[in-house]
Amino acid sequence: MGTWERFIENLAGRLDGPMHFRFIVQPLMATIFAVIGGVKDAKAGKPAYFWDLFLAAGHRKELIKDGWKHVGKICLLAVILDVIYQLKFQGTLYPGESLIVALVLAIVPYVALRGPVNRVVRLWEKK
């Protein structure tokens, strides 16, 4: 079995197997932090987070540091829980899979939602 086939099969097992609650809780936590960050950005008049990461080379490092401050613990928890899951239920450790799961559960929801929350708050405040 190839690496990607194994990854897809292992990921499917995570969705409905033991410890599946983290697929709800961790994105929810990332969403909460994204809302908090997006509201703060809107109040400070900052641009949307995701676009600013790519367009503002001057303070990109500061933006990444700020985002990691919010989502880093959630990402670390996602990695730890995935390692525990792999060792207990699969008997093997695949670090790459753990990092991908953490990226999907924590970082993607945060980055995807912080900017739109900023825009919605700005529109709401203009009314």
Is 93 strand, coil or helix? coil
Query: Residue 73: what are its φ and ψ, rounded to 5°?
Result: -65, -40
Q: Is 94 left (phi over 0), alpha (psi -120 to 50) or beta?
A: beta
How high is the pLDDT of residue 74? 87
How high is the pLDDT of residue 107? 92
Is 107 strand, coil or helix? helix
Number of domain units in the chain: 1
Is 12 strand, coil or helix? helix
In a domain, 8, yes or no: no
Q: Are 98 and 86 in contact (CB under 8 A)?
A: yes
AA identity, residue 94: Y
Owning domain of residue 80: 22-126
In a domain, 10, yes or no: no
pLDDT by 10-residue block (mean), the chain, 127 residues: 78 76 88 94 90 82 88 89 88 90 91 94 86
How high is the pLDDT of residue 31? 94
pTM reported for the whole predicted model: 0.81
